[in-house]
């Protein structure tokens, strides 16, 4: 598959490398693609650096990993190239009110409503991912989306990288995984993911996933 990575810093460059290792062709993008030579060097001939719209156009699946503060700018740069594209949002919002609507994920969805969004790969640091990658029992990576194509694609990419996708719910569940949410920094293997999700849901009043 063709994977586009928007934001090739600590997280994006790491995920790009693992995607390339698992045989995908990768386009890494940032506001300064000319500075991504070092990242491309780690893609083993399976990657190139491009401006954001070109990387999105190239991609079957986009990994979205810019800084939260500049995420709107990244969406603006991508423009209509995001329409109909599967986008996996790995960002964590900063400076937002956890208990107030909307979640970071919901905010991004509103900025690019024609993209097919999934939330995933945002709960754990690259250190943890690196340590657990490919080891049995596989580390669970929570996936939230309303869309079956986005769920399928996110699950495939996560599996290819050496983790176990675990579906945590639709868009309304994404806040559980974000900054301050009960699944953020939750390091569990796939056999314990169900219990971790149940525990996270118990921290919210019945029928109200936003905890209000």
State CA 66 to chain mean position distance: 10
CB of 146 to ligand NAP, least distance (A): 21
Measured CA to CA, the distance from residue 13 to residue 165 in angstroms comes to 20
* Helix, strand, or coil (residue 135): coil
Nearest residue (CB) to ligand NAP, 79 versus 205: 79
Among 95, 30, 34, 38, which Cα is nearest to 65's?
A: 30
Largest CA distance in the chain: 50
CB of 36 to ligand NAP, least distance (A): 7
Nearest residue (CB) to ligand NAP, 53 versus 170: 53
Provide the binding-site residues for ligand NAP, judged by CB under 6 A. Answer: 6-12, 29-32, 35, 52, 65-68, 70, 73-74, 77, 90-92, 122, 125-126
CB of 205 to ligand NAP, least distance (A): 27
Contact assessment for residue 144 and residue 168, using Cβ atoms and an 8 Å cutoff: yes
Residue 194 tokens read as 């169900």
Residue 212 tokens read as 């209000």
CB of 180 to ligand NAP, least distance (A): 12
Listing DSSP states for 60-107 in one string gives SEEEE-S-GGGHHHHHHHHGGGGTT-EEEE-----SS-TTSSPPHHHH
Nearest residue (CB) to ligand NAP, 6 versus 193: 6
Nearest residue (CB) to ligand NAP, 10 versus 83: 10
CB of 91 to ligand NAP, least distance (A): 3
Nearest residue (CB) to ligand NAP, 11 versus 212: 11
Nearest-CB residue to ligand NAP? 9
Place of tokens 């990288």: 161
* Helix, strand, or coil (residue 168): strand
């Amino acid at each position: 598959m063709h994977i586009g990575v928007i934001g090739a810093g600590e997280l994006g460059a790491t995920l790009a490398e693992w995607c390339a290792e698992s045989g995908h062709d990768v386009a890494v993008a940032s506001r300064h693609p000319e500075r991504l030579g070092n990242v491309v060097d780690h893609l083993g001939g399976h990657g190139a650096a491009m401006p954001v719209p070109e990387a999105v156009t190239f991609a079957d699946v986009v990994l979205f990993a810019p800084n939260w503060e500049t995420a709107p700018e990244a969406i603006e740069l991508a423009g209509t190239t995001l329409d109909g594209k599967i986008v996996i949002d790995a960002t964590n919002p900063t400076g937002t009110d956890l208990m107030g609507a909307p979640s970071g994920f919901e905010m991004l969805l509103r900025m690019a409503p024609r993209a097919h969004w999934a939330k995933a790969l945002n709960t754990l640091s690259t250190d943890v991912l690196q340590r657990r990658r490919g080891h049995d029992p596989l580390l669970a990576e929570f996936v939230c989306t309303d869309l079956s194509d986005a769920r399928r694609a996110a699950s495939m990419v996560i599996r290819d990288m050496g983790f176990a996708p675990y579906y945590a719910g639709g868009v309304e569940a994404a806040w559980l995984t974000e900054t301050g949410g009960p699944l953020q920094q939750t390091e569990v293997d796939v056999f314990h993911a169900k219990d971790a999700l149940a525990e996270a849901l118990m921290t919210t009043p019945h029928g109200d996933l936003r905890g209000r």
